[in-house]
Structure 1
Amino acid sequence: MSLLVQKVNHPEDLDKVFAIRKVVFVDEQNCPPELEWEHEDESTHFLATQNGRPCGACRWRKTENGYKLERFAVLKDFRGQGVGRALIAEALSDLPSDADYVYLNSQLDAMSLYAKFGFVAEGDQFEEAGIQHFKMVKKV
């Protein structure tokens, strides 16, 4: 089983990223489509493939607060196989060396995964697109 995570450099790969996010966020989790597609041009996107089949996606972008990891999505058939871990590791390794403040908004059931990479919950639980989240910040 060959799992590969690569930075997206081609429009057709970006289409695959968007297709995965549509299935996971819009179709499965009922996120409003208009909330799902924002900040695409300023983001660095990643596509995970397993044996050549697109199976996961994520992105990072620079914000006024620091560097934000976002839109981690793994197709249902590929969950529990390390795709999420591989996406997080690749996104973190791609950040610029001056990325001293790295954060994300985690759905509750993903918090333990992010914690393995040194992310710690901060602040109160909040709702985003109808789903409960915590902000998590990477501790160096």
Structure 2
Amino acid sequence: MHAAPKIQVNKASSDKDLQAVFSIRRTVFVDEQNCPPELEWGFEDESTHFLAMAEGEPAGAARWRKTANGYKLERFAVLKRYRGKGVAQALVQAVLNDLPADADYIYLNAQIPAIRLYAKFGFKQTGPQFDEAGIQHYKMVSEK
């Protein structure tokens, strides 16, 4: 059995890191999941972006942004070869740790296969299932 890779998650602020974030999102959402590219890009300047590295290689990405409703976690993406190795958990934890102390309403739109991941961090499904970019989701709200 292989040891889990060393995973490091940092805010992506340099141009190089942001390009890696956008490349990961393009690979996962546009190429693999067939999301329309025009739906993938938005709110980039007002978001706080994160880049997960596994053994020194770009492996995953995520972001959070303040909305009229609260703090929205979104665009969690892990490259196929790094899935199931703890990258997604490290990203969720890093994003939650970065939120302001007064972030009292934290939510996300979870793809159905990711619901169990977010539930581990205290998120609960709310409302009906819905379609976003051709993929089924549930809104989830943090109860911590």
TM-score between both structures, scaled by the size of structure 2: 0.96
Instruction: Tell me the number of residue pairs that the alignment of Structure 1 and Structure 2 aligns.
Output: 140
**Residue aligning to 1:123:** 127
Task: Determine whether 1:108 maps to 2:112.
Answer: yes
Residue type of the partner of 2:18? L
Q: Deviation at 1:89?
A: 0.1
Structure 1 segments of 4 or more deviating over 4 A?
A: none
1:7 to 7, 11, 29: 11
Residue type of the partner of 2:127? G
SS of the counterpart of 1:20? helix
CA RMSD, Structure 1 to Structure 2 (Å):
0.4
SS of the counterpart of 1:98? coil
CA distance in 2, matches of 1:41, 1:9: 11
Residue type of the partner of 1:9? S
Q: Deviation at 1:40?
A: 0.2
**Residue aligning to 2:86:** 82
Structure 1 regions of 5+ residues with no counterpart?
A: none
**Residue aligning to 2:35:** 31
CA distance in 2, matches of 1:122, 1:63: 18
Q: Deviation at 1:56?
A: 0.1
Q: Deviation at 1:2?
A: 1.6
Structure 2 regions of 5+ residues with no counterpart?
A: none
**Residue aligning to 1:60:** 64
